Structure formats: C-alpha cells, structure tokens
Amino acid sequence: MSMNLPNLLTWLRIFAIPLFVGIFYLPPSWLSPLGQNLVATIIFSGAAITDWLDGYLARTLNQTSAFGAFLDPVADKLMVAAALIVLVHLERLDAPIALIIIGREITVSALREWMAQIGKAKSVAVSFLGKIKTASQMMAILLLLYHDPIEDYFNPQIVGTWLIYLAAILTLWSMIYYLKAAIPQALQNP
C-alpha cells in the first residue's frame, strides 16, 4: 500500500464517515438541528471535493496506484451509503430510493470486478450517464442534508427530493446500460 497525498485524502474521506453520521446524534444542547444540518452538509461537501481532488492529484503528481484505484470508489460508495441511510433515518428520503441507489452501487461494483477479472474492464468503464447520475445524486444529497428552507425563496428539501428521484431513475438506467455491456461476456464466460 502506497501512502501518498491522493491516498491520504481518500483515507480522510473514509475516516470522516463516523464524524458525519455522529453529527446527527449530538444532543441539541451541543449543536442545534440547523447546526447539525449545516455541519453535515459541510462535511459531505468536503468529501465530494476530496473525491475530485484525490483523482486530480493522483494524475497530476503521477501518484496513481492500484491501491488508490481500489480505495477511491470504496470511499465514495461508503460515504454515499452513509448519507442515504442518515437521510432515511431523518425521514428526508424514502427507503426504496436509498435501496435502489445503494443496490446499484453494489451491483455495478461487483460487475466491474468480474469484468476486470475476465479482462473486459473497459466494457463497463464509467459512462457519461454515470457521471450525470453522480452529479444529480451528490447535489440531491447536499440539499437533503441541508434541509432547511432558505428564506421564502428556496426549499432545499423539495429540490433535493426531485434531484434524488432523478438520480434514482438515472441509477436504474445506468445499471441497465452496464448490465447490457456485461451480458454478452456472461454468456461467453459462464
């Protein structure tokens, strides 16, 4: 395992998960509900930024590694799953939507692993559709975490709910896309 700056940022993202979840279990005398929402949104935003930053730094500093390529998507999926579970617990997100998104992540990760083992990893490389899904999902999670209306002009819960439903639709669509790419390989490599 190589410990470089990109991998350190990825580890920080993983270590931030208990802090992120724990924010919502602090007593109101320590942090108000609005404060909890704000701090959790900031932590999740930081995680999203470090997700982009660690990949950028790995390429720019020529510090890519097999371990980093493995750990980065694991960190992403753990953070997103934790956020979705927290949002379900806070009754800001319906459980079936969280299950669709988490289930897709597990399925596509397993599919990518299998395709890599048979030498066909490029068949299930990240698609543009997957990137749109991720952007919609991340914005939705941020808005649902913040939750509280901003004056009378903007309700993050409403916009976040629409975006998470869009993300769920794109999640299913992208999973079908990846499965279609993998089916011919499954038939050839039983």
pLDDT band of 141, cuts 50, 70, 90 = very high
Residue 190 reports pLDDT greater than 70: no
The two structure tokens encoding residue 184? 């011919």
Q: Which tens digit of pLDDT belongs to each residue from 142-155? A: 999 999 888 888 99
Report how far residue 70's alpha carbon sits from residue 150's, in angstroms, rounded to the nearest whole number.
39
What are the residues facing 154 on neighbouring strands? 150
Report how far residue 20's alpha carbon sits from residue 42's, in angstroms, rounded to the nearest whole number.
9
The two structure tokens encoding residue 166? 């869009």
Report how far residue 185's alpha carbon sits from residue 66's, in angstroms, rounded to the nearest whole number.
24
- Strand runs (DSSP E) across the chain, as ranges? none
Q: Which amino acid is at 128?
A: F
Domain residue ranges in the chain = 1-91, 93-190
pLDDT band of 163, cuts 50, 70, 90 = very high
Q: Which tens digit of pLDDT belongs to each residue from 70-122? A: 888 889 999 999 999 999 999 999 999 999 999 988 988 887 777 777 766 66
Query: Which residues are CB-contacts of 162 (< 8 A; sequence separation ≥ 6)?
Result: 140
The Cα-based distances of 9 to 47, 106, 133, 164 in angstroms read: 9, 23, 23, 26
